Each structure stands twice: as structure tokens, then as C-alpha cells.
Structure 1
Amino acid sequence: MRIGYSLFTDTPGQWRKAKTRFLILCLLLSCFLFSILLRLFDLQIRQHKKLSASAIRQQQKQIPLPSRRGSICDRNGRELAVSLRCYSIFAHPSLVQDASRAASRLADFLDLSAREVFRKLRSGKPFVWIKRKVDPEMAKAILDSGLPGIFAIEEEKRYYPKRDLGSHVLGFVGLDDQGLEGLELSYDSYLKGSHHPPLGYCDALGRIAFREAEADASWGCCDIILTLDEVIQYIAERALEKGVESSQAKGGSIIVMEPATGEILALANRPTFDLTRYQDYPPAFRRNRAISDCYEPGSTFKVILAAGALEEGVVTPGERIYCERGGISLNGFYIRDYKKYGWLTFSQVLTNSSNVGAIKTAMKLGKEKYYEYIRRFGFGEKTGIELPGEARGILRRPQDWSSISLGALAIGQEVSVTPLQLLSAFAAIANGGKLMRPSVVKCIRSPEGERIWENSPQVVRQVVSPATCSALTQILTKVVEDGTGQKAAVPGYVVAGKTGTSQKIDGKKGAYSHHKVVASFVGFVPSQSPRVAILVTIDEPKVGSWGGTLAAPIFAQVAQETMAYLSARSGIESDLSPGLKGQ
């Protein structure tokens, strides 16, 4: 019989098995603890920044506050674009007690679909917009109705009091007041300023529980003062509208510029659009044709040839040129004049817009020199105006010209220009040979009313000498007095200018169309010490086709009314005391 009991009665084999199991268990526990340490390292060290940022996004939310977007005014302080107070209606669906009733009431207030409003209220989202930018009176009525979960926040709505006046210059903003086109886009950062909206701290449902102190509501937005004059802009738009309608044209453009400074006083296009409902118009109506559409300038380009030829001394105004009785052959291509001219002086070549005389002058100047002057007048490059979407035109290098290119360029073919480029070139002739950078912005004004930036006239280069400009101006006055531009005459003033009628390419036939043309006139008034340079283009008119009969009368109307307005304004300003001028 056994008297005692041993705790260690297992055999050596059983002990080894137990020890192995214990070691395996310790290893598994060690691996588990190591994996936890790795995970902690990953979360707290490697992903620290990412997770912290995610936590902040969940806990904090920027609270949008109403901001006053800067105004846009004409050169005399008349408001063209302003911001008005309005409200946007939103909902916290989790707080809406009766979605069907709320949807029906909101639909009646806001002229919306009740089904669409109900869908938003049942979306399960913590926040939904019901309608943006409603009048204060409407917002008050909705809030007074006492619908649970429905709220309003104050915002600003962009308003254009003149509707379509200067629409292609001003541009427009989107729903959140971000600039989309025109100066609203180019100067968006100045108009909206910079800001730091206050932070709100959210609960588990994403609702704002409390928030920091509000930031300054002004946020440093600036006002933009333009070079445009509202009155001259209206004169230009009205004349262009009438001209396009009477000629049944596809479209047209007018630009009015100060030759001495390059400041744009008016820029108008047709078709146009209403800024207050821009979304209702196709993109073609919103396109700024004056700076983005390229066309062959036709006979107006003969002035560029004349400037180069006079500057180089290859011709003189009185030099006689034989115009071949109305036609000339260029490597198998026969180019005609609209009249059978014989001997003409160079001055008469421009006055009567002789193609033959221009081609012979270009041959004397040579393609390298001609190309040099085309470039010097700014063609083939952007003018640098502050508006978005400017085209540089098309100008090939001389080595890429064909055997007839020199003759074609002499009469304004095989080159594409924008209306603004062509007017800038004529303004250089008007001001004594200085190519100016055109501008539509006069200054930028801070919220305190101080001018933080002011535009000063910028000379790009001296293109030709004042003597050449003087001689060319005398020729251009004859164009209006005795030549193709007689309908551009303005009573009481001497006008200098040039007509142009250019055929457009027929895309289907790959040749010049006999029906689609661009009729144009560009000139300046008065011819000595000119105050304005004006360009008019009429695109694809169906009634009439010549620049001298379509565009020139529009020029005359705009020039006459503009000069009368400027003279009257000068008289008013001269009567003001020095302390009142410019206020």
C-alpha cells in the first residue's frame, strides 16, 4: 500500500509535451502583443498626421459667412456689377418632423417641385440645400412659418444693374460667387478678397454645437474701376445692335479706344447676353468676339503695308503706280480691282483701295521687311489686355509663305487678326507711332477707398516714326473725304480711316466664299490729336456687303455721339473747381 502522493508523477515525455505547449502559447502571445505594438506604431506614428486631420475634419467645420464681393464701376464711378444681400434656405433632415408637409410648404414658397424637396429631406444627409440666393422677404416668410429643421443663412448675390451692357467685358460669377468669365474671372482674387471664416465644432451627428468668434466680415475685397465709360458703351452697343439688325448679319463688334493711352472706352459684341441670366444663352453668345475671333482683315491691312513702305522710303505719297487697268496675275492667280484703274499716286492707291497698287507696293518692300512691320504692329501675338480668352491671330513666317503670299498679305489675306489687334495698330498710327498695350482696368480700390494699384499707359514699342504717321494720316483723311470711306465722315471733324471687305473661307468648298464676308471700318477722330480710335466689324451681312456702306456709317454715328459727349463732359469738368474734379 502507497502511503504518499507525488505531484510530479508525469513521465519525462509528458513533461516535454507540456513544456512545448507552454512555449507555443508564449510565442503566440508574444506575436499577438507584437502585432498590437506594430498597429499602435502605425496609428500613432506613421498615420498620425492623416488621422489627426481626419479627426479635425469630423469635429470642425468652416462656417460660411456672407461676404461682400467687390463692385465693378466704369471710369466715372457708375456701378456695373454689385453684390446684394440675400439668403439661402437649407435643412437638417434629421430635425425635420413631417417631411411631406415641409416639402409641400417649401415648394409653394420657392416655386419648386414638392417631390424634389421631399427627396432632399429624406436623403439622410446631415445637411442639404433647398434653394440658394432667395430674397430676404421670402427667407423671412419661410422662417416665420416655423418649419422644424429648416434654416436660412445670409449670403450675397451678384447683380448687374445694366443687364447686358458691357457683358463681354464684365463676365459673370457662379452660384458660389466664383468668377467664371470676363473680369469677374481675371480679377476674382481681388474682388472676393482673402478671408478666414470662423470654425464650428460638431457633435456626433455633424451638427454645429458651438463656434469660435466671427472673423471680420469685410475680408479685404476690392473694387475694380474700369476704363470703360458707361455712356460711350451704350452709344456703341446701340449703334452695333441697329447695324447688325439692319444688315441681317451673323454678328459684329465695336471697340472705342483712346489712342494716346490704349484705354478702352467701349467694347461691344453681337450677339450678346443678359448677365442676370447668362445660363439661358448658348456659349456663342457669351464669346468675346472682339478679342477671341480671328478674321482676315482685307483692305484695312493695306494701312500696315503703307506704314512700312513709307517708313522704309520705298514709296512716297505722290509716287505714281500703274494699276494695270484693274487686274494683276500672281503665279496663275488673277487678282482684280473693283474698278479698272490706270495710273494712281500711292495716296490714291489707298484712297481707292486698289489691290493691284497694294501688291506692287508690297513687291517693292519685300517679304522680310513687310513681315517685320506686321510683327512690329503687334500681329501674331496677344495684346496683353486683362480679359481672358484672347487669341494671338495667325501669322506665318516668311519661310512658310507660298509664291503668292506676299501679294495676298498686301490685300489682307493669308493673315488672321482680332479686332483688338487691328484697332491697336491704327491707334499707333494715330498717336505718332507708339504701340500701346490696351487696357480695360483703370485702378483697383481697397475696401478703405485707397487706390492700391493704378494703370499707367504702357508703350510696347515705337513702330514707325511720327513723320510716317503724319503722312499716312493725311492719306487716310482722303479715304474719308474722297474715297471708299465717305460715309464715315463726321460733321465738324476731320476723320482718318480705312474701309475693309474681306471674304471668308467656305469650309465645304475650301475656297473663298462669294457671299460670306466681314465688312469693316477702322479710323480715328479728329485726325490731328485724335481723342478716339474706333473699329467696327459686321460679320456675314445678308443685306449689303461693303465696309464703306455697312461699317462706315456705324463708325460715323458712334464717333459723332462720342465726340459730342466728350466735349460736353470736358465743358462740365472745366467748370468745376479744382477741389471738385475727379470726385
Structure 2
Amino acid sequence: MKKRAIILSTAITFGFIAVVFRLVDIMLFNHEWFSERAKFQQIRKEIIPVKRGIIFDRRGRELAINLDTESIYCDPSEVISPNKVAFAISERINQKPEIILAKLNADKKFNWIERKVNIEYTQSIKDLKLRGIGFAPEVKRYYPKGSLASHIIGFVNVDNDGLEGIEQKYDKYLTSRSEKAYVFRDAKGNVLSDGQSFSLSKEVMGNNVVLTIDEGLQYILEKNLDAAYLQWHAASATAIMMDPYTGEILAMANRPTFDINDPSNAAPSQRRNRAITDCYEPGSTFKIIAGTAALEEGLVKPDTRFDCSAGYIEVGGKRIKDPHKHGVLSFKEVIQKSSNVGTIKIGLSLGRERLYEYIKRFGFGEKTGIDLTGEASGWVYSPSKWSGTSIGAISIGQEVAVTPLQILRAYASIANGGFLVRPYVVSKVVSPEGNTIYKTNPETKRILSEKTANLFREILKTVTEEGGTALEAAVDGNQVAGKTGTAQLIDPKTKRYSKDKYVSSFVGFVPADKPRIAMIVVIHEPKGQIYGGVVAGPVFKRIASESLSYLSIPRDDSGEKGLLMISKNVTGK
């Protein structure tokens, strides 16, 4: 027994001495080497997810924000009872168990189960303490207004990369370069509780974008566009509201539309921003070109007479008619009554080259330069490619293709005294610290004299007065200046103008003498009625009336004239 005790004691002593020498070697002689190795095993670099900047309307209301979520992943080699795990998770995230099971059985060390799940749902899964299941914090883009301004804002993909609209166009501003943090992890990769003290834990934010859009005006415009789209069983509809002096887009919408929180369930036709991508023959709204050009060149005056009594005119062997016969009309009445015959005579007096020059002055055939993706330039052929009938057709808005925004911009130049503006939807970009790092400045170019613009404005006022084509576009209390458009669509089968498919539009500005808003309404393929004054005019009226009230713009008759009218209403005299 004594011998055994000596052997055991000796073994323990030598073992203790070996441990001491090893500890001395680790702690004194090779401390730095082992310390670095431990850090390499325990401390991991983690990419800090970037939160995209917020998108605000012009009054600071949030249109695009971020939500904190968690993504669920798995290490299939660690999962026990995949069938039970798949079923347990599926119940909590509303996903089919067979889809989850396929991910759990994958031959890999890492696999996503579901990205960007509500934290309340992931917590219920965490409580199950399932082996092989992990969670990663992620940021999800969220649009609190649903489909409001969807074609302007756009959306992102699952990795928060901008795909359309402002989200895509201003992606480099909304995002920031990812940063890295260092965290302590155990052998299974779990973050240790004291790891945060060693991390570069801070929130990485992108820059905020402030739009020119007003949420209130956007709602008014979309609500009334919805009603018209349904009323006329239209194929599509577009409306745009703009500040005619600066080019700021105050509201823009299209129908059909989509929910930007769920873009994957929307067809491409729903996601398309028709206001800037879809081209059409504008019809009578294009008569602004021949009209202003003739005034600017001194070829006509408001009272210049045109004989339209035949009801038609022949150009290049083709007879072009007026919808209704007129007699002898003044230049003002040609525009007011939208006479094709009178307008073509004006176009003929200008000639091909001058007419084309003014078309280009107004920016047709070129992009407006709006800060949104996918804008179309439309097309306008040069005079060398015109046929014998082209000068007549183009004068009344045929044989050209335009976007709704191009037409609106042309009428804004009348509203603002003769300047062509560049439309834009982003007012400024602001850093997370509140510093302005980018600001959009209005861009204008004079294309008409102030005299011509003012004369044509007076003529456009008569369009919504007695004898004009847009009585239903008139706004109670504020004078409207504008123009109707009723254009036939080309039948893709016959390659000729359709007898039953039209584009109905109205474009104008209000109050006419001191414009605050310029607006266009375009309804494609309305059923039951076709004329712009009947189909689009009332939509303009409703949007304009509500918008003027929202903006607290006084009535034109709010002065002495208004008091007199109120007195008459009260006294009955």
C-alpha cells in the first residue's frame, strides 16, 4: 500500500509540474501567439446591416421606412427530426412544411429558411430551442401608405437593393457602405452575452430623400382617378399635378396600380409608370403648338378669321373633318371649339419647318429629364420624312407620340409666362446628421415671349366657358385655363385608326391668372363616352377643387365680387 501511494503521489506531482510548465509557457513565453489564436477562434467579423434612408413627402411625412426583422436559417447537419422541426416552424411563419423540410434536408452547412420575419413570430420559434436553427437580424423596407405614390416611390428586393422608382434612381444616396463589427462567439457560433462590449455596435443609416410630392394632394388625385378609372371601365388612366413655375411634381398616379409592400404579386402592366413610359397620339391637346407658334410668329391675332364652314379640309389628298360643323371662326374660337379645320389652316400658314421648330422648342421627341427611371422620349419625325398629309395630321396631334408628362410641361409653359421647365420629384437629399448633401434646383428655358404666353392663356380660359369644349372642367370660384383632347387609337390588327377606341384627356392650370397647379388627366379607352371634356374634364374639376381647398388657395371671387355674390345669395336679390 505504501509503494502504491508513493507511485500515485509521484505521478500527481509530475503531472502538476507539467501543467505548471505548460501554463508558464502559455502565459509567459507564448502568450501573444495563443492570445491571437484565441481571438481568431472566438471573435468574428460581422457585417452591420445598413438601414436605407427614409423617404419623406414635401411636408416631412414618411412614405418609406425600415422595420427591424429577423431571418431564420439552419445548419441541416445539426437538425434533429427534420419533419417535426419543419412542421413546428411552418405553423409559426405561415409557410408550407414541405418547403421548409426541403431546406432542412439540403446538403449544405447553411441554408435560409425564411427571410425578414416579424420578430414576434421568430420569438415563438426561439422559445422552442430547436437545434440547428439560427436567427439573424435584418432590416425590411416598409411603405406605410400601401399603394399611395407607388409608381414614384418604387420598391426594393429582399436584399434591399432598389429596383424601381426613387428607390432605384436614388439608391446610391439611400444606402451607405456596409460596416463591420466584431463579436464574441462560442464554438457553435452563438453570440456571447458580453460580446457587445467589444463590438462596433452602431446603426448604419443611409441618407434621407425628401420628395416634391405632397401626400395630401397625392391622395386627392388618386382617389378621384380611381373613381374615373372604374366609372369609365378604362384600360388605364394617368394623372399628374405639377408646380408650373418650378417643375416640382406635386402628385402623379396611374391606374392600374399595385401595393409596393407586395410587388411580386403585381403584373408588369400594374408596375409601369405610364405617366412617363407610355406614348400616345395626343389629339387636340397638341394644338397648343400650332396656336402658340402662329401667335409668336405674328401670323395671327386672337380675332383673325378662319372659314371652317365646309366642315372639312383636304390635305395631301386626304379629307380631315371637324366633329361638328362650324362657320367662320376667329383664332380664339378655333382653339376654344377645338376645330381641326381651323387648326390645320394655321399649321399650313406656318409651314413644315416652322411647325417642326416649335414642336422641338416645347421638348417633344426628347425626354423631359425627370429624375425617374424608364422615361420615354416619344417620337416626332423630321419634315424630310413627312408625307403630304403630315402637316395637317401633326397640327391636330396625329403622327406624333408623346407622354402625359410632356403635354403637361407644354401647358405649364403657358401658365408660367413662356418658360419650359424640367420636372422633378426629389427636392433634396439629407444626411442622417441633417445636412443637405444634394438639392434640386429648378431649370427653366424661355421658349415663348411673355406676350404670346399671356395671349394664349386668355384663349385657354374660354375652353371652360360657355361655347368651349370643357364646361365640365370648370372649377367653382376659380377660373381654369386648359384644353381637351380626344384621340383615336391605332387598331393593331388593321393598322388604321380604331372606330371605338379613344384616348380622352384634359390638361390645364388653375387659378388661370395666378396658377398654383398645372394638371393633366388621361383616360385610355373609356367605355360609354369618348370626349375629353366629358370623360377627363370632370376628373380635373374634382381634383382641382379639392386641391385648392387643401392648399387654402382663395377663390378668384373672394374679394368685393365675392362679397356681392354672398350678399345676393343671402338677400335673394
Give the partner amino acid of 2:496.
A
What is the alpha-carbon distance in structure 1 between the residues aligned to residue 533 and residue 188 of structure 2? 69
Question: Do 1:126 and 1:206's aligned partners in 2 also have CA atoms closer than 8 Å?
Answer: no
Matched with 1:566 is: 551
Matched with 1:442 is: 427
- Of 504, 513, 525 in structure 2, the residue corresponding to residue 528 of structure 1 is 513
Which has more radius of gyration? 1
1:480 has 2:435 as partner: no
Residues 137-216 of structure 1 aligned to structure 2 (within 5 Å): 137-198=120-181, 214-215=199-200
Give the partner amino acid of 1:477.
K
What is the alpha-carbon distance in structure 1 between the residues aligned to residue 350 and residue 339 of structure 2? 17
Matched with 2:67 is: 84
Matched with 2:451 is: 467
Matched with 2:26 is: none
Residues 33-432 of structure 1 aligned to structure 2 (within 5 Å): 63-198=46-181, 214-215=199-200, 217-432=202-417
What displacement does 1:68 show?
1.7
Structure 1 length normalisation: TM-score? Answer: 0.84
SS at match of 2:384: helix
Question: Do 1:65 and 1:155's aligned partners in 2 also have CA atoms closer than 8 Å?
Answer: no
The superposition leaves residues 347-370 of structure 1 with CA deviations (integer Å, 9 ceiling, x where unpaired) of 100001000000010011111111
What is the alpha-carbon distance in structure 1 between the residues aligned to residue 45 and residue 93 of structure 2? 27
- RMSD across aligned C-alpha pairs, in angstroms? 2.2
Q: 1:569/1:63 Cα in 2 relative to 1: closer, same or farther (>3 Å)?
A: farther
Q: 1:499/1:128 Cα in 2 relative to 1: closer, same or farther (>3 Å)?
A: same
SS at match of 1:340: coil
What displacement does 1:99 show?
2.3
What is the alpha-carbon distance in structure 2 between the residues aligned to residue 250 and residue 445 of structure 1? 39
Question: Do 2:50 and 2:178's aligned partners in 1 also have CA atoms closer than 8 Å?
Answer: no
1:540 has 2:530 as partner: no
What displacement does 1:117 show?
1.8
SS at match of 1:533: strand
What is the alpha-carbon distance in structure 2 between the residues aligned to residue 185 and residue 303 of structure 1? 35
What is the alpha-carbon distance in structure 2 between the residues aligned to residue 62 and residue 250 of structure 1? 53
SS at match of 1:453: strand
Matched with 1:44 is: none
Question: Do 1:490 and 1:556's aligned partners in 2 also have CA atoms closer than 8 Å?
Answer: yes
More displaced stretch, 155-164 vs 465-474: 155-164
What is the alpha-carbon distance in structure 2 between the residues aligned to residue 206 and residue 325 of structure 1? 91
What displacement does 1:197 show?
3.0
What displacement does 1:278 show?
1.4
What is the alpha-carbon distance in structure 2 between the residues aligned to residue 278 and residue 399 of structure 1? 45
What displacement does 1:97 show?
2.9
SS at match of 2:203: coil
What displacement does 1:325 show?
2.0
Question: Do 1:239 and 1:558's aligned partners in 2 also have CA atoms closer than 8 Å?
Answer: yes
What is the alpha-carbon distance in structure 2 between the residues aligned to residue 501 and residue 97 of structure 1? 69
What is the alpha-carbon distance in structure 1 between the residues aligned to residue 183 and residue 80 of structure 2? 25
What is the alpha-carbon distance in structure 2 between the residues aligned to residue 351 and residue 217 of structure 1? 64
The superposition leaves residues 268-307 of structure 1 with CA deviations (integer Å, 9 ceiling, x where unpaired) of 1000111111111111011000000000000000012111
SS at match of 2:239: strand
What displacement does 1:433 show?
0.7
More displaced stretch, 177-186 vs 215-224: 215-224
Q: 1:61/1:216 Cα in 2 relative to 1: closer, same or farther (>3 Å)?
A: closer
Q: 1:335/1:127 Cα in 2 relative to 1: closer, same or farther (>3 Å)?
A: same
Identity of aligned residues (%): 46
Aligned residues: 510
Matched with 1:552 is: 537
The superposition leaves residues 421-472 of structure 1 with CA deviations (integer Å, 9 ceiling, x where unpaired) of 110110011101111100100111111122211222111x211000000000
Q: 1:289/1:206 Cα in 2 relative to 1: closer, same or farther (>3 Å)?
A: farther
What is the alpha-carbon distance in structure 2 between the residues aligned to residue 163 and residue 209 of structure 1? 36
Q: 1:302/1:61 Cα in 2 relative to 1: closer, same or farther (>3 Å)?
A: farther
What displacement does 1:219 show?
3.0
What displacement does 1:216 show?
5.9
Give the partner amino acid of 2:505.
S
Q: 1:61/1:248 Cα in 2 relative to 1: closer, same or farther (>3 Å)?
A: farther
Structure 2 length normalisation: TM-score? Answer: 0.85
More displaced stretch, 193-202 vs 84-93: 193-202
Matched with 2:5 is: none
More displaced stretch, 207-216 vs 106-115: 207-216
What is the alpha-carbon distance in structure 2 between the residues aligned to residue 429 and residue 318 of structure 1? 19
Question: Do 2:290 and 2:347's aligned partners in 1 also have CA atoms closer than 8 Å?
Answer: yes
Question: Do 2:181 and 2:201's aligned partners in 1 also have CA atoms closer than 8 Å?
Answer: no
Q: 1:366/1:157 Cα in 2 relative to 1: closer, same or farther (>3 Å)?
A: same
SS at match of 1:534: strand
Question: Do 1:80 and 1:160's aligned partners in 2 also have CA atoms closer than 8 Å?
Answer: yes
What is the alpha-carbon distance in structure 2 between the residues aligned to residue 437 and residue 61 of structure 1? 50
Q: Which runs of 5+ in 1 are unaligned?
A: 1-58, 571-583
The superposition leaves residues 60-101 of structure 1 with CA deviations (integer Å, 9 ceiling, x where unpaired) of 996343332111111001111111111111112222233232
Q: 1:206/1:472 Cα in 2 relative to 1: closer, same or farther (>3 Å)?
A: farther
Question: Do 2:521 and 2:540's aligned partners in 1 also have CA atoms closer than 8 Å?
Answer: yes
Question: Do 1:66 and 1:155's aligned partners in 2 also have CA atoms closer than 8 Å?
Answer: yes
Q: 1:218/1:568 Cα in 2 relative to 1: closer, same or farther (>3 Å)?
A: farther
SS at match of 2:324: coil
The superposition leaves residues 108-158 of structure 1 with CA deviations (integer Å, 9 ceiling, x where unpaired) of 222222222222122121110011111111111111111011111111111
Q: 1:206/1:507 Cα in 2 relative to 1: closer, same or farther (>3 Å)?
A: farther
What is the alpha-carbon distance in structure 1 between the residues aligned to residue 95 and residue 375 of structure 2? 40
SS at match of 1:567: coil
What is the alpha-carbon distance in structure 2 between the residues aligned to residue 386 and residue 249 of structure 1? 28
Give the partner amino acid of 1:153.
A
SS at match of 1:372: helix
Question: Do 1:254 and 1:268's aligned partners in 2 also have CA atoms closer than 8 Å?
Answer: yes
What is the alpha-carbon distance in structure 1 between the residues aligned to residue 43 and residue 172 of structure 2? 26
Q: 1:382/1:542 Cα in 2 relative to 1: closer, same or farther (>3 Å)?
A: same
Give the partner amino acid of 1:480.
T
